[in-house]
Structure 1
């Protein structure tokens, strides 16, 4: 029995499975070792994951997570997993690898993550061969929900939104300047807070001001990420994540402007990962 985790900054999707299929699915809070230490991660595992696994213990854990981009950060997750599952073998990898496996399978392509945060890579069908770095919500995260939220909230605070739109936004979220600044600068996961405003933007996406922000969001992502990959117009450019999925119409418009061909757009990589690991289990069982 193996346990697969697909973790973003907002939520983590856990699947307990074997070659025959998925036996348990559990959702927990999002985990990002860029912002959380090992003890904080362990608390999430202990309180939200363990009680829902019905005492099943995996032999191997495959954890794919946002922020798992360095040995130091990966170690934080590994330590928490080993504390919860002392007899399990744990593998912690970047969510880029999960995206590439789920989106591209065994074919070359560009794999992009557009959810709470953003990232991308060039995949040769076996491994990630190039990655324009993700700089996080302060310096980057173009294309993401956090980037959209930052654009909207900045315009709101600078009094650049039409009055009707600003009033609707303020009333929906009971916004105050101090409340916004506290959430952005004094909480553990500010990108998650900013990304909550993407839902409002989706509802108002036909408003010219909001549409322009969405278009600019994806334009910035293509300019700073997708267009940097050699041959990006010659292979499919694929997307996973809620922002890509829900704003796909505008995403197609921007991709066309740059001569890119969009392949798959999916909301979550989980099903692709399940297929990938089922194939591995089947090969192992047949040996």
Structure 2
């Protein structure tokens, strides 16, 4: 039995391939070794009834996750997984490689993630050849949900949201200054909290204010990441992530206004990853 996992900070999508080639799916909470310890991840995995029921049968795990860019972080995740699946050979890699294999396959191109956070790399058709630093929601995440949500919350605090959108935000989100400050500065996963407001912003993204939140964030992303790769104008550009997928028209326009053409946008990489690994069996 083979397990394939695509893990972001918010959720993890799993695909299970049994010995007859049948595919099933499962979803758990997200994992990120930057913010979670080995023991915290292990505890969550052990408590999941679906995964714990197959501990002895899993022989191979391909795990792609946010925060898994360094050997130290990969090893931390590997230890957690081996604690639950002792008979499995385990490969842990970055979520950027998952995005690249799911979209580009064996083709080279610039591959980016726009989900809760953001990241970008140049993929040579086999591996990540060049990657950009991804300093997270405090120092980066341009174009990602936390970046867009943070700007939305700043506008709310400073009363810079147009009145009609402000009214909807108060009615639908029950926004309150004290709660915002508490959630951002005193609770875990503030980036995830800020990104949660993108559901509202996407719902009204045809409104000029919401449209501009995304448009400006996407242009910031292209200028900070994509346009710094050598010969970026001639390379295919691929995206994975809910922010990119559900706002694809704005993303493509932001790209076109900078002379860029986006080739493919996927909501998540797990289906493409499953096909990729099944083709390698």
| 1:188 shift after superposition | 2.3
Per-residue CA deviation, residues 78-125 of structure 1 (Å, 9 max, x unaligned), is 111111112211111000111111111111100010111111100111
State the match for 1:51 in structure 2.
50
Could you list the runs of 5+ residues in structure 1 that have no partner in the other structure?
Answer: 282-287
Which residue in 1 is equivalent to 2:80?
80
Match of 2:100 in 1: 100
User: Any conservation in 1 of the 2:45–2:52 contact (CA below 8 Å)?
Assistant: no
**Corresponding residue SS for 1:233:** helix
Alignment of 1:153-232 (within 5 A): 153-232=153-232
Residue in 2 aligned with 1:277? 277
TM-score, normalising length from structure 1? 0.93
Tell whether the 8 Å contact from 1:123 to 1:130 is kept in structure 2 after alignment. yes
2:275 aligned with 1:237: no
Residue 52 of structure 1 deviates from its aligned partner by 5.0
Tell me, in whole angstroms, the C-alpha distance in 2 between the residues paired with 1:18 and 1:124: 31
1:120 & 1:255 partners in 2: Cα distance? 15
Deviates more, 1:227-236 or 1:17-26: 17-26
- Within 5 Å, which residues of 2 pair with 1:106-145? 106-145=106-145
Q: TM-score, normalised by structure 2?
A: 0.95
Is 1:26–1:53's contact at 8 Å kept on the other side of the alignment? no
CA distance in 2, matches of 1:245, 1:228: 23
**Cα shift at 1:173:** 2.1
**Alpha-carbon distance change, 23 to 275 in structure 1, aligned in 2, over 3 angstroms:** closer
C-alpha root-mean-square deviation of aligned residues, in Å?
1.5
Unaligned runs of 5+ in 2: none
Query: Does the residue aligned with 1:90 lie in a helix, a strand or coil?
Result: strand
Deviations 1:14-63 (A, max 9, x none): 11115754433110001111111111111221123x43564362101110
